[in-house]
A = this chain, B = another copy of it.
Amino acid sequence: MSFNLKSKADLYNELEQLNKIYQQKKSDSITLDLSRGKPGYDQVDLSNEMLDVLNSDSDFSTPEGFDCRNYGVLDGISSIKSLFADMLDVNPCNIFVGGNSSLNMMFDTVSHLVTHGISGCKPWFGQNVKFLCPVPGYDRHFSITEYFNIEMISVPMDDNGPDMDMVENLVENDELIKGIWCVPKYSNPSGITYSDEVVKRFANLKPKAKDFRIFWDNAYCLHDISDTPDTLLNIMTECEKTGNQDLPIIFCSTSKITFPGSGIAAMAASDNNINAFKNRYCYQTIGYDKLNQLRHIRFLKDIDTLKAHMKKHGRIIKPRFDVILDYFDREFKDINDITWTSPKGGYFIALKLPNGCAKRAVSLCSDAGLILTPAGATHPYGVDPDDSTLRIAPTFSSVDDISKASDLLCLCVKIAVLEKALDE
């Protein structure tokens, strides 16, 4: 019973029927939201006890005897550096712990290269610098490059990561290509993880620009929802093997481990890179919030305790993914042109519609009370040239709401696809 195989008349009838159901649902005036990559409140509840570990009776000193209630320590207290080092599997001396936002650290990094440059190269300001943007990707990455007037070039993704033929060809031949945005594990929004081969090809890049950097946003490094999670090859280790250790700059945070907005961000990079960035940060601040660092290390303790904590997140998130994926399986199984990802972790599902259907589906949903991420947000400049990709964020709502939202979403998608089919 694929749409593709039906006569125009059959499709018309089907559309009419679906529109009747849609009008009914629209009159229910519901308010649902699948747009936000935010943990649910049952998830943030998991970290409430972190707020008990520091109180007026606490010892505020690090093991080395540093009282965290005063100025000092630019790059983070050593225990939290060690935890991030374990999370990212790098040496603690290659960690810089920042404020509450890894996005802010990426912004600062790009900002530094725009005004000061790196590796002895001149600042990016005033040059026609370009970044590669694997698509679909994360809108806030693209916003940073847009803010700094950096031209963005879309690179298609498949199940293994970005199209590496295209990446190599561009990076190795164009000196103005200075960076690439990557979410290598449970990518936002497709949920795919870069294959070993893709990571190795990144490590083997021979960039034309000496100041080319891989912005490796490992936001979901420990955010599995499956018992057989994806594994990501260590980019730093691979780059050390090829002598390319200055290529990657790795970012992560505890935003989706403890509290979004009240977590801790960190970056990992080679000695050269870390020194260059420390040399900026020492002008920018005296240091970040060490009491929050102390709070985190006393709550998360070590990598094993942290992983156990992440299993609790996974158990909460999985049923939310499952509800949506079950709907997709059931409702779209006979429609060849609709595909979607089934991630083993992360915060998003990518739903791919026939070309020209995404905006219409979002608008139908919105009119009936379901907010989705705007179509196009997954592409540079907010424009998806195929108008086909939807980003679905299942974590923030209750299972019950997600069920209602999925029902409406599937209906709207079918209407949009039918309208398009009849239009051709």
Residues of A within 8 A of B (CB): 36, 38-39, 41, 44, 47-49, 51-52, 54-56, 58, 67-73, 99-101, 103-104, 107, 111, 114-115, 123, 125-126, 140, 143-144, 146-148, 255, 259-262, 280, 283-292
Contact = CB atoms under 8 A, between A and B. Distances in A.
Contacts of A148: 115
A261 B280 contact: no
| Binding site secondary structure of chain A | loop
Contacts of A114: 115
Contact of A260 (B71, B101, B115): B71
Contacts of A144: 283-284
Given A56-B49, A115-B148, A259 B44 contact: no
Contacts of A260: 69-71, 286
B285 A101 contact: yes
Nearest to A146: B283
A109 to B, nearest CB: 12
B100 A289 contact: yes
Given A280-B147, A285-B103, A262 B68 contact: yes
Nearest to A148: B115
A60 to B, nearest CB: 8
A169 to B, nearest CB: 30
Contact of A290 (B56, B101, B262): B262
A261 B70 contact: yes
A58 B69 contact: no
B259 A291 contact: yes
Contacts of A69: 41, 44, 47, 259-262
A48 B56 contact: yes
A103 B71 CA distance: 12
A31 to B, nearest CB: 15
